[in-house]
Structure 1
Amino acid sequence: MTFPEFTPLQALIRHAQTHLQGRPIALGQDADLLLITSRRLQHIQRVPTHDPALILVLQGTKLLYPEGEQTLYTPQHAIAMRAGCALDITNLPPAGAPYLALAVAFKPALLERFQRAYPEWSAPQSAPAPLLQRLHQRQPLERIALSLLEQLDGSGSLLHTHLLLELLLHSLLQGGSNLLWHAEPDLGSRLRHWLSSDPAREWRADDLAEQLQIDPSTLRRHLRRQGTSFRQLLEDVRLSHGLSLLQGQHLPVGEVSQRCGYASPSRFAARFRQRFGLPPSQIHP
């Protein structure tokens, strides 16, 4: 499918809406693609990023608040967002049109493949990288993203991987080295990985302790040292999954609550509002 009468940005918007509207796509173990859409102003508190992500604002304005400072992004910029942070986010739609942003979350398997191919980028980083990096050269990023979306129909995974590696390389060459930064995995991140595999499951701390081959009391003690608990970690995983479902698939709140392990949609809505600062109904475009 081609849109020859459009500018590259307009073509990217059309392809994103065609392929990703209400349907996020996982490209194997390499990346997740998500089109974020909203027809109303959204202010979402403490949105977690578990994988590094490249975000292209397509329509409207995104405000981010790293360490209490406001930063503004428009379709002139791209955003390299580090893994392991939680940011307040405001999405502002333009007059008469929805807010649109394309998010590409790079998975660990792709990052490892990239660093094998480009060992000069694999030097360890001694200090945490910036949460955000503003990338000013949008044209090469738009071109690669458009090629990636054009190849979603019927192309093999090898071509998808090649384009994702190219997208990552262009981001790094513009100063987005924070995409490669990662903290040493701790117990909390290992547990999050297990819980994220099936958020709706009736997880028990003892079951995960057995999977990780540690004593349940040791697990709880380590989590207390990290300022959390098994119940808090599970709830955060479930609510973050709910945010992703609402943003990417536009599902009814009742169905989202079930997929997140909540038997009561009202309880899910209350906990969601407490966590993100707005009701789940306001996430729908």
Structure 2
Amino acid sequence: MRARDGLQHRENIIEACVIQARQPLTLPRMPVFANTLCRVRQGEKRLQWEDREMRAGPGHLILMPAGRELGISNLPGRHGHYSADAVTVPLPIMRGFSARYSQLILSSRSVSTTDLCVPLDTHTAQAWDQLLAAIHANAHPALRTHYAEAVLLSLCLSGHAGPLLTGRNDPLCERVQQLVMGSPERDWTVASIAHCLNLGESTLRRQLANEGDSFRNILEGVRLATALQLLQTTSRPVGEVAGACGYASASRFAVRFRARYGLSPRALRAAI
């Protein structure tokens, strides 16, 4: 996949992109909708989660579990740049891995950690390099899955995979998110989502409310997260990004983006 194309969501295919910055960039509230693995090439990444702060450089693998909202800072290194590879592992692939290695996962939990920035050992680093090579070579999805599972397996054996394997207990939220992520530009409504999920509108609203969420919150969260990714990984104009994420008005998009991330789309671009 070409880096300029950004990280496109395809439910059963593992993708990668490169995140770059020329200036320090802090995003205090970044929702994570798909399990993501990240390795810094240059600079440092800092994560704030609950009351913890974690730091990672090139010698770490960063785990960003789906369903979390993290504070993230990307800090350029001594050469004036920040650069990192990010790989998303879709939910169906995570579930397949969990089912295939359930006994190993259970046995490894006695030594499992909750760190999101874990040191890269030799086996995990080799598996990571093979995974990136397969993605960049546009390898068959089955091969990508194979190498991604090698990374997960290595993390599991070292007791570091715990944060990625913890259930979120909100399957309906996940299903709605997956639908919107596939086509964030679509004019989604409660009715259209309910139809796709074979649910009644009132049932959809009620079950999301029981999970502490709402259709409107999920829709905007996914759209803004997609916009953040496109602004960071492509050169598409801000107005085009707004349209690709379902916003008919670029100015309204900018207002919502600033409210969510604390800076405007143009300020974000200026830091990259």
TM bin (shorter chain): 0.7 to 0.9
Following the alignment from structure 2 to structure 1, what is the Cα–Cα distance between the partners of residues 219 and 11? 25
Following the alignment from structure 1 to structure 2, what is the Cα–Cα distance between the partners of residues 34 and 78? 15
Compared with structure 1, are the counterparts of its residues 83 and 121 closer, same or farther at alpha carbon in structure 2 (3 Å cutoff)?
A: farther
Contact 1:28 1:157 in 2 (8 A): no
Aligned match of 1:230: 215
For residue 178 of structure 1, report the CA deviation from its aligned partner.
Answer: 1.9
Compared with structure 1, are the counterparts of its residues 190 and 137 closer, same or farther at alpha carbon in structure 2 (3 Å cutoff)?
A: closer
Following the alignment from structure 1 to structure 2, what is the Cα–Cα distance between the partners of residues 219 and 190? 11
Amino acid at match of 1:191: V
Please point out which of 128, 131, 150 is paired with 2:133.
Answer: 150
Do residues 51 (structure 1) and 34 (structure 2) align?
A: yes
4+ residue runs over 6 A deviation:
none
For residue 240 of structure 1, report the CA deviation from its aligned partner.
Answer: 1.1
Following the alignment from structure 1 to structure 2, what is the Cα–Cα distance between the partners of residues 102 and 61? 12
Aligned match of 1:9: none
Over the residues paired in the alignment, what is the CA RMSD in angstroms? 2.8
SS at match of 2:240: helix
Contact 1:44 1:276 in 2 (8 A): yes
Give the alignment's TM-score, normalised by structure 2. 0.85
Aligned match of 1:80: 63
For residue 91 of structure 1, report the CA deviation from its aligned partner.
Answer: 0.7
Do residues 170 (structure 1) and 154 (structure 2) align?
A: yes
SS at match of 1:159: helix
Greater CA drift, 143-152 or 168-177: 143-152
Compared with structure 1, are the counterparts of its residues 158 and 125 closer, same or farther at alpha carbon in structure 2 (3 Å cutoff)?
A: closer
Q: How many residues of Structure 1 are paired with residues of Structure 2 in the alignment?
A: 265
Following the alignment from structure 1 to structure 2, what is the Cα–Cα distance between the partners of residues 225 and 155? 41
- Structure 2 residue ranges without an equivalent (≥5): none
Following the alignment from structure 1 to structure 2, what is the Cα–Cα distance between the partners of residues 121 and 269? 46
Greater CA drift, 142-151 or 71-80: 142-151
Please point out which of 2, 18, 21 is paired with 2:3.
Answer: 21
Compared with structure 1, are the counterparts of its residues 191 and 125 closer, same or farther at alpha carbon in structure 2 (3 Å cutoff)?
A: farther
Matches within 5 A, 1:208-247: 208-247=193-232
For residue 123 of structure 1, report the CA deviation from its aligned partner.
Answer: 4.4
For residue 217 of structure 1, report the CA deviation from its aligned partner.
Answer: 2.7
Give the alignment's TM-score, normalised by structure 1. 0.81
For residue 116 of structure 1, report the CA deviation from its aligned partner.
Answer: 4.3
Following the alignment from structure 2 to structure 1, what is the Cα–Cα distance between the partners of residues 22 and 88? 23
The one-character-per-residue Cα deviations of 1:168-226 (angstroms, maximum 9, x if unpaired) are 11122222222222222343322222222211111121222233333323333333444
Q: Give aligned-pair identity as a percent.
A: 32
Amino acid at match of 2:221: D
- Structure 1 residue ranges without an equivalent (≥5): 1-18
The one-character-per-residue Cα deviations of 1:229-262 (angstroms, maximum 9, x if unpaired) are 3222211121111112112223221110000111
Amino acid at match of 1:96: H
The one-character-per-residue Cα deviations of 1:92-132 (angstroms, maximum 9, x if unpaired) are 11133320111222122322332344232354999xx9764
